[in-house]
């Protein structure tokens, strides 16, 4: 078996190349000993060729787990060849990693991706000159158009070459001396270069004190010669070489200011970026919840699952003389519960099509850049926003995405707060509350998104004040891809995948839970068929309903629905569908049971509280201990309860005089603001 490793920067198209090469033969797991995703697969056209997809990285001087995993893999179990994927539109940044890869002594081929976009930014790259400058084969390719991919992998298999970078003679002398000290293979220069930068681990090799002392002396002498720090010397030498290569191979064909630059002057500006982001997200939720998606959802809930399906099944089962309790289960249990959930599929589809357009066009990368400005004011990094973007789809991969954050404190904070963002499973709750209590109000659905964002920021401020989370924030580096028109099929597939994922959950978890909910809401402990108010479920619900009374929804139905949401958030609407009825009956009955303030409090609690059981288990796994997992879930639930309590009690002030509970809410709010905005404790250094 021949192994070829794909290496490149984030957003260079490496994952697309991997998917095109391997198709359905991919295997995904974790690298041994670390929680970084490992992807490998067999080449579709030659099963003897193994494709290893390394994490997207900017450098092999490891600061993050991704960088460390890639470095250790290349040192300890090097592949037969490396296909280095380069973003042609960002050649200067991409070549830094290329120069580092050359130091590993592994045969390599350069895949110059996104060459089709060069014209739009007014540039042209001479691939023959680039191949000459690097001493490596260079293949033009386009992952978007599936061009040159097969040629690149065949060249990597047969024509991959070794090449060596030559820096300033004084630096080369220092590297040679360090190689002699550690008896390193002259073809593999990376350990010596890493030692020069200050990393004396040499990929796990233990050095004697004498060897370490010699390396430090060599480094100090070189620093005096260059009058600079060792790490800066090497960085400057690499960029000096890159500058020479750029001058040789890149020619300007037009205006250097691209359309992307012109748009970025507006959407990433200091004053307009945040209002633009707020408007765009408002528009996304407005279109998906209340217009395009809302119209289809209303028809599905009120007409299809509210009339057509129940009437058809009722007549069919009557003709077949199905026993009455089974008819009741199908109509008032399965159809009412699962149907109430499936009715929101159009809104989910429209939402993720719109989010897919934003992501595929390149705008979401700008959002992370904009949010970094805000997050860094509160001690967090823009890297924390990447998992939050992913959380709009599902909390599980969002929690796992926090692995790329270097600082352990920041990673834990991100895991604790990232599920505050409303995922696809919470969308039916948002749509239900919007339709039941705030019909026609365009701000309620978007407010759920902004509430999650606000709680992330406030929680980040508060947690950073605690000693266990204090410390320097992680550095944030992110590629800004050029704007381009989204691919229609890519966007539609993204929306369809999310909708189908929702359908699968409705056909499994929600189906099973609605059957249980129907049974326990129709029978008492003597297994006699009774009304819902006399059932086992009502008895259990009343035991816990008092907990939610200060939040405005202290009825047993809402309490039970909230509890079933711990299995999967979609089941909240399914449970209410069984207990209140499906279609229009659900929204009208739910609205008549509570006030608008209680409805929004119900929404806030279920958006912010502990996520579904799959996400909770991921939190425990990523936190690394039961103690930290319990802290995270406990913190999320506490924040949800406090915010719902404050929202409901303050909303009540508009229609009722203040009482002791309202006064308690005011005290809680003041104390929360003090905890959040109190000055951070300064560390006192012992002299």
Tell whether 270 is covered by a domain. no
pLDDT > 70 in the chain, percent: 89
For 46, the 3-state DSSP assignment is: strand
pLDDT at 637 over 90: yes
pLDDT at 198 over 80: no
Structure-model confidence comparison of residues 683 and 525, the more confident one: 525
pLDDT at 603 over 90: yes
DSSP letters of 413-475? HHHHHGGGS--GGGHHHHHHHHHHH-TT-TTHHHHHHHHHHHHHHHHHHHHHTSGGG-SPPPP
Q: For position 37, which CATH number holds?
A: 3.40.50.300
Tell whether 687 is covered by a domain. no
The last residue of one of the domains, among 133, 158, 183, is 158
CB atoms < 10 A from the CB of 77, how many? 10
What is the pLDDT averaged over residues 272-280?
87
Q: Which domain holds residue 421?
A: 275-677
- Residues 153, 183: one domain? no
- Residues 28, 56: one domain? yes
Dihedral of the alpha carbons of 44, 46, 47, 48, in degrees to the nearest 10: -150
What is the pLDDT averaged over residues 517-541?
87
**Tally: H helices and E strands in the chain:** 32, 9
The last residue of one of the domains, among 128, 158, 188, is 158
Q: How confident is the model at residue 295 (pLDDT cuts 50, 70, 90)?
A: confident
Tell whether 265 is covered by a domain. no
pLDDT > 90 in the chain, percent: 15
Task: Report helix, strand and coil shares of the chain as percent, to nearest 5.
Answer: 65, 10, 25
Q: List the one residue out of 269, 473, 284 whose CA is nearest residue 385.
A: 473
Tell whether 401 is covered by a domain. yes
Instruction: Please report the pLDDT score of residue 390 as a whole number.
Output: 74
What is the pLDDT averaged over residues 619-645?
91
- Residues 565, 637: one domain? yes
Instruction: Please report the pLDDT score of residue 370 as a whole number.
Output: 77
**DSSP at 501:** H
Instruction: Please report the pLDDT score of residue 267 as a whole number.
Output: 83
pLDDT at 256 over 60: no
Distances (CA, A) of 568 to 117, 241, 445, 513: 43, 54, 20, 10
Structure-model confidence comparison of residues 294 and 166, the more confident one: 166
- Residues 179, 235: one domain? yes
- Residues 343, 480: one domain? yes
- Residues 193, 312: one domain? no
Instruction: Please report the pLDDT score of residue 597 as a whole number.
Output: 92
Instruction: Please report the pLDDT score of residue 684 as a whole number.
Output: 39
Q: How confident is the model at residue 583 (pLDDT cuts 50, 70, 90)?
A: low
**Sign of the CA dihedral with 49 first, then 53, 54, and 57 last:** positive
CB atoms < 10 A from the CB of 507, how many? 12
The count of structural domains within the chain is: 3
- Parallel/antiparallel/unpaired status of strands 250-252 and 123-125: antiparallel
pTM, full prediction: 0.67
Tell whether 682 is covered by a domain. no
SS in 3 state form for 19-45? HHHHCCCCEEEECCCCCCEEEEEEECC
71-125 per-position pLDDT tens digit: 888 888 889 999 999 988 888 888 989 999 998 889 999 999 988 777 767 788 8
| CA 210/CA 219 separation, integer angstroms | 14
* Bridge partners for 43 per DSSP: 46
Q: For position 198, which CATH number holds?
A: 1.10.287.1770
Q: How confident is the model at residue 573 (pLDDT cuts 50, 70, 90)?
A: confident
CB atoms < 10 A from the CB of 34, how many? 14
| CA 561/CA 603 separation, integer angstroms | 12
Structure-model confidence comparison of residues 658 and 640, the more confident one: 640
pLDDT at 307 over 50: yes
Q: How confident is the model at residue 35 (pLDDT cuts 50, 70, 90)?
A: low
- Residues 643, 577: one domain? yes
| CA 430/CA 436 separation, integer angstroms | 10
pLDDT at 676 over 60: yes
pLDDT at 644 over 90: yes
491-506 per-position pLDDT tens digit: 888 788 878 877 877 6
Q: Which two tokens stand for residue 39?
A: 């992807």
- Residues 129, 184: one domain? no
Whether residue 478 contacts residue 382, with contact meaning beta carbons closer than 8 Å, is answered with yes
| CA 182/CA 202 separation, integer angstroms | 9
**DSSP at 114:** -
For 293, the 3-state DSSP assignment is: helix
| CA 478/CA 263 separation, integer angstroms | 18
- Residues 493, 609: one domain? yes
pLDDT at 274 over 80: yes
Tell whether 451 is covered by a domain. yes
- Parallel/antiparallel/unpaired status of strands 108-113 and 138-140: parallel
Structure-model confidence comparison of residues 46 and 481, the more confident one: 46
Structure-model confidence comparison of residues 472 and 507, the more confident one: 507
416-471 per-position pLDDT tens digit: 888 888 887 888 888 888 888 888 788 888 888 889 888 888 887 788 777 777 65
* Bridge partners for 2 per DSSP: 49
| CA 148/CA 138 separation, integer angstroms | 11
Average pLDDT, the chain: 82
What is the pLDDT averaged over residues 616-629?
87
| CA 166/CA 169 separation, integer angstroms | 8
117-159 per-position pLDDT tens digit: 777 677 888 999 999 999 999 999 888 788 889 999 999 988 8
- Residues 239, 144: one domain? no
Q: Length of the chain, please?
A: 687
- Residues 588, 637: one domain? yes
Place of tokens 């209590």: 437
Most confident of 113-117, 213-217, 383-387, 584-588: 213-217
Instruction: Please report the pLDDT score of residue 685 as a whole number.
Output: 35
Q: How confident is the model at residue 646 (pLDDT cuts 50, 70, 90)?
A: very high
Long-range CB pairs of 99-102 (<8 Å, 24+ gap) are: 99/165, 99/238, 99/241, 99/242, 100/59, 100/60, 100/61, 100/190, 100/238, 101/7, 101/60, 101/74, 102/134, 102/163, 102/164, 102/165
- Residues 139, 180: one domain? no
Tell whether 426 is covered by a domain. yes
Tell whether 268 is covered by a domain. no
Q: How confident is the model at residue 686 (pLDDT cuts 50, 70, 90)?
A: very low
Q: Which residues are CB-contacts of 418 (< 8 A; sequence separation ≥ 6)?
A: 384, 387, 388, 391, 395, 398, 399, 402, 456
Region at 325 (left for phi over 0; alpha for psi -120 to 50; beta for the rest): alpha
Q: List the one residue out of 21, 257, 60 whose CA is nearest residue 152.
A: 21
- Parallel/antiparallel/unpaired status of strands 37-43 and 27-30: antiparallel
The last residue of one of the domains, among 132, 158, 184, is 158
171-182 per-position pLDDT tens digit: 889 888 888 887
pLDDT at 567 over 50: yes
| CA 428/CA 343 separation, integer angstroms | 9
Structure-model confidence comparison of residues 652 and 252, the more confident one: 652
């Amino acid at each position: 078996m021949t192994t070829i490793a794909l290496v490149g920067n984030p957003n260079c198209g490496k994952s697309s190349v991997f998917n095109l090469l391997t198709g359905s033969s991919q295997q995904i797991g974790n690298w041994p000993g670390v929680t970084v995703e490992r992807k490998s697969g067999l080449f579709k056209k030659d099963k003897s060729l193994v494709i290893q997809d390394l994490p997207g990285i900017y450098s092999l001087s490891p600061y993050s787990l991704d960088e460390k995993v890639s470095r250790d893999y290349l040192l300890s179990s090097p592949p037969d060849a490396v296909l280095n994927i380069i973003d042609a539109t960002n050649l200067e940044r991409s070549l830094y990693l290329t120069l580092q890869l050359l130091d590993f002594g592994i045969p390599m081929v350069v895949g110059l991706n996104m060459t089709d976009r060069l014209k739009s930014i007014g540039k042209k790259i001479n691939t023959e000159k680039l191949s000459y400058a690097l001493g490596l084969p260079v293949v033009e390719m386009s992952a978007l158009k599936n061009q040159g991919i097969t040629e690149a992998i065949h060249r990597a298999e047969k024509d991959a070459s070794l090449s060596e970078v030559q820096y300033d003679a004084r630096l080369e002398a220092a590297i040679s001396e360090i190689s002699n000290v550690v008896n390193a293979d002259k073809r593999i220069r990376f350990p010596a270069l890493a030692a020069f930068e200050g990393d004396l681990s040499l990929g796990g090799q233990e050095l004697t004190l004498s060897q370490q002392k010699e390396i430090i002396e060599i480094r100090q002498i070189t620093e005096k010669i260059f009058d600079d720090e060792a790490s800066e010397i090497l960085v400057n030498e690499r960029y000096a070489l890159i500058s020479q290569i750029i001058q040789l191979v890149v020619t300007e064909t037009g205006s250097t200011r691209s359309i992307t630059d012109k748009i970025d002057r507006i959407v990433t500006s200091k004053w307009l970026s945040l209002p633009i982001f707020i408007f765009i997200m408002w528009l996304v939720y407005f279109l998906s919840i209340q217009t395009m998606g809302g119209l289809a959802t209303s028809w599905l809930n009120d007409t299809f699952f509210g009339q057509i399906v129940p009437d058809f099944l009722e007549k069919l089962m009557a003709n077949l003389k199905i026993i009455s309790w089974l008819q009741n289960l199908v109509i008032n249990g399965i159809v009412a519960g699962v149907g109430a959930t499936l009715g929101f599929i159009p809104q989910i589809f429209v939402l993720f099509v719109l989010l897919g357009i934003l992501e595929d066009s390149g705008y979401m990368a700008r959002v992370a850049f904009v949010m970094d400005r805000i997050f860094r004011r509160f001690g967090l990094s823009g890297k924390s926003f990447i998992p939050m973007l992913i959380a709009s789809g599902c909390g599980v991969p969002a929690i796992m995405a926090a692995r790329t954050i270097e600082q352990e404190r920041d990673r834990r904070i991100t895991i604790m707060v990232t599920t505050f963002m409303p995922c696809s499973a919470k969308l039916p709750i948002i749509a239900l509350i919007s339709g039941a209590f705030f019909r026609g109000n365009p701000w309620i659905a978007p407010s759920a998104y902004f509430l999650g964002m606000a709680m992330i920021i406030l929680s980040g401020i508060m947690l950073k004040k605690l000693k266990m989370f204090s410390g320097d924030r992680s550095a944030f580096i992110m590629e800004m891809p050029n704007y381009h028109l989204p691919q229609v099929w890519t966007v539609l597939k993204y929306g369809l995948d999310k909708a189908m994922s929702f359908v699968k959950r409705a056909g499994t978890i929600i189906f099973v839970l609605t059957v249980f909910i129907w049974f326990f809401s129709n029978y008492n402990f003597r297994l006699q068929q009774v009304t819902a108010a006399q059932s086992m479920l009502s008895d259990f619900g009343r035991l816990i309903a008092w907990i939610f009374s200060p939040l405005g929804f202290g009825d047993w139905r809402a309490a039970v629905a909230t509890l079933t949401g711990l299995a999967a958030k979609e089941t909240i609407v399914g449970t209410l569908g069984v207990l209140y009825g499906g279609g229009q009956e659900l929204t009208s009955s739910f609205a008549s049971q509570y006030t608008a303030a209680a409805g929004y409090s119900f929404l806030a609690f279920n958006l912010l509280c502990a996520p579904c059981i799959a996400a909770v288990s991921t939190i425990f796994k990523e936190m690394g201990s039961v103690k930290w997992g319990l802290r995270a879930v406990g913190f999320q639930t506490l924040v949800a309860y406090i915010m719902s309590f404050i929202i409901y009690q303050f909303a009540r002030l508009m229609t009722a005089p203040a009482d002791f509970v309202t006064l308690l809410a005011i005290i809680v709010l003041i104390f929360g603001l003090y905890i959040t905005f109190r000055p951070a404790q300064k560390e006192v250094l012992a002299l």
